[in-house]
Amino acid sequence: MNSQRPLRILIVEDDPDETNLFLYGLTREGFHVSAVDNARSALDRMKLERFDAVLSDLNLRGGMRGDEFLRTVRRTHPHVAFVMLTGEKDVPTAVQAMQDGADEYLLKPSGVAAVADAVVAARRKSDRRFEKERRARLAEHGDFMTQFTTIRTLVNTLETKDVYTRDHSKKVALCTMIMARAMGMDRPRMRELRIGALLHDIGKIGVPLTILHKEGSLTSAEWEVIKKHTTDGAHIVTPLAKYLPEVQRIVRHEHERWDGKGYPDGIGGLDIPLGSRLIMIADTYDAVCSNRSYRKAQTPEAVLQIVREGAGAQFDPQLVPVFEATYHLFPKPCL
């Protein structure tokens, strides 16, 4: 065997004679070999030890057959090489096993040399599969970063265009993350939420400055232009939907209200994405705590009162206690 280090093989075989044959023979061939007699024990062993390859009988006893075991390994240990052993009458099943992700299969009885060759070949296939997947992930990540960088450039353009929005997106994202972390949200969802928060106002890039900077009340027509920023924003972030589909929903629905009186779609309650409901509170906090052309910044306690009074109407009532428990961690307003 030509390898820089001995491959670690786990044999899963309920025939003691077969097990001993392969244990002794593969060890003499230079492999590090372990053995169990059922699939459940194999899965437990694989949680504790790292293996390069699995050699498994198809007709395992003990509740889980080899084909089910293979599918489980492919989900939990996708880069482990897998060699299936099967009797001649089970060739159609073995073909299916190859389609399910086995790298090699051998007909019983097979000698030690044939098994050793199959394990090495399976490992090579697994390595090539891993490298192909790695390159695909890198290419996808590069494409995502290109799309995200382009959209972030638009955010920077928007923040240059509108003094108020300068750093607003970052502060809203920070406040949203503080609440999400307190709720125990997992990392993938927090990632989508953070990006959604950073991009929540991106649609305002299409709103004229005369409307964005207007000091008096907006006319009905001007208000309709402002309201379009949610759907325009969702359209702008479409390239991210392939990688982070929740971001587009968050951006579209961040002005929906719990009572269904928001925009653009008038949905309410739990139909509103959780990210949008959190951003609604964070956005309100930063808006009220910031100096505007028509009023000065207010205190965080003033926002707390606004959010409490809006529970069940504008805001998700279940998120109000989360805000109450975390708002003291939010960026302080410049009073």
Q: What is the mean pLDDT of residues 61-86?
A: 88
Most confident by average pLDDT, 144-148, 211-215, 274-278:
274-278
- pLDDT of 1 strictly over 50: no
Most confident by average pLDDT, 69-83, 91-105, 133-147:
69-83
Residue 94, pLDDT score: 64
**Any residues with CB less than 8 A from the CB of 85 and at least 6 apart, and which?**
13, 55, 56, 57, 58, 66, 105, 106, 108, 110
Alpha helices in the chain (DSSP H): 16-28, 39-48, 66-76, 91-100, 112-161, 168-182, 187-198, 209-212, 220-227, 229-236, 245-253, 274-288, 300-309, 320-326
Max CA-CA distance within the chain? 89
With cut-offs at 50, 70 and 90, classify the pLDDT of residue 326: very high
* Spatial distance between the Cα atoms of 230 and 253, rounded to a whole number of angstroms: 7
Q: Could you say which of 1.10.3210.10, 3.40.1350.10, 1.10.10.10, 3.40.50.720 is the CATH number of the domain covering 162-329?
A: 1.10.3210.10
Q: Please confirm whether the linkage preceding 109 is cis (ω < 30° from 0).
A: yes
SS3 content of the chain, % helix, strand, coil (to 5): 60, 10, 30
Q: Report whether CATH 3.40.50.2300 matches the domain 8-134.
A: yes
Mean pLDDT, the chain, integer: 87
User: Are the beta carbons of 38 and 63 closer than 8 angstroms?
Assistant: yes
pLDDT tens, residue by residue, 219-267: 999 999 999 999 999 998 888 888 888 999 999 999 999 999 999 999 9
- pLDDT of 3 strictly over 60: no
Instruction: At 295, give phi and psi (nearest 5°).
Output: -165, 160
Catalytic residue status for 204 = yes
- pLDDT of 55 strictly over 60: yes
SS3 54: strand
What single-letter amino acid sits at 201? D
Q: Are 8-134 and 162-329 in the same CATH fold?
A: no
- pLDDT of 214 strictly over 50: yes
Burial track 67-76 (b if 16+ CB lie within 10 A, e otherwise): bebbebbeee
pLDDT tens, residue by residue, 283-306: 999 989 887 666 788 999 999 999
- pLDDT of 335 strictly over 60: no
- Ordered by start, the domain boundaries in the chain are 8-134, 162-329
Least confident of 64-73, 154-163, 241-250, 287-296: 154-163
Least confident of 52-66, 152-166, 176-190, 307-321: 152-166
Catalytic one of 204, 214, 228, 296: 204
Q: What is the pTM of this model?
A: 0.60
Sign of the alpha-carbon torsion through 35, 39, 40, 43 = positive
Residue 6, pLDDT score: 86
143-146-148 Cα angle (round to 5)? 110
Least confident of 54-58, 108-112, 181-185: 108-112
Residue 2, pLDDT score: 44
**Cα 208 versus chain centre, distance:** 36
Instruction: Report which of 318, 321, 291 is spatially closest to residue 304, judged by C-alpha positions.
Output: 321
Residue with tokens 């910031």, as numbered in its chain? 290
pLDDT tens, residue by residue, 84-129: 888 756 667 667 767 778 888 888 888 899 999 989 988 888 888 7
Residue with tokens 């809006």, as numbered in its chain? 310
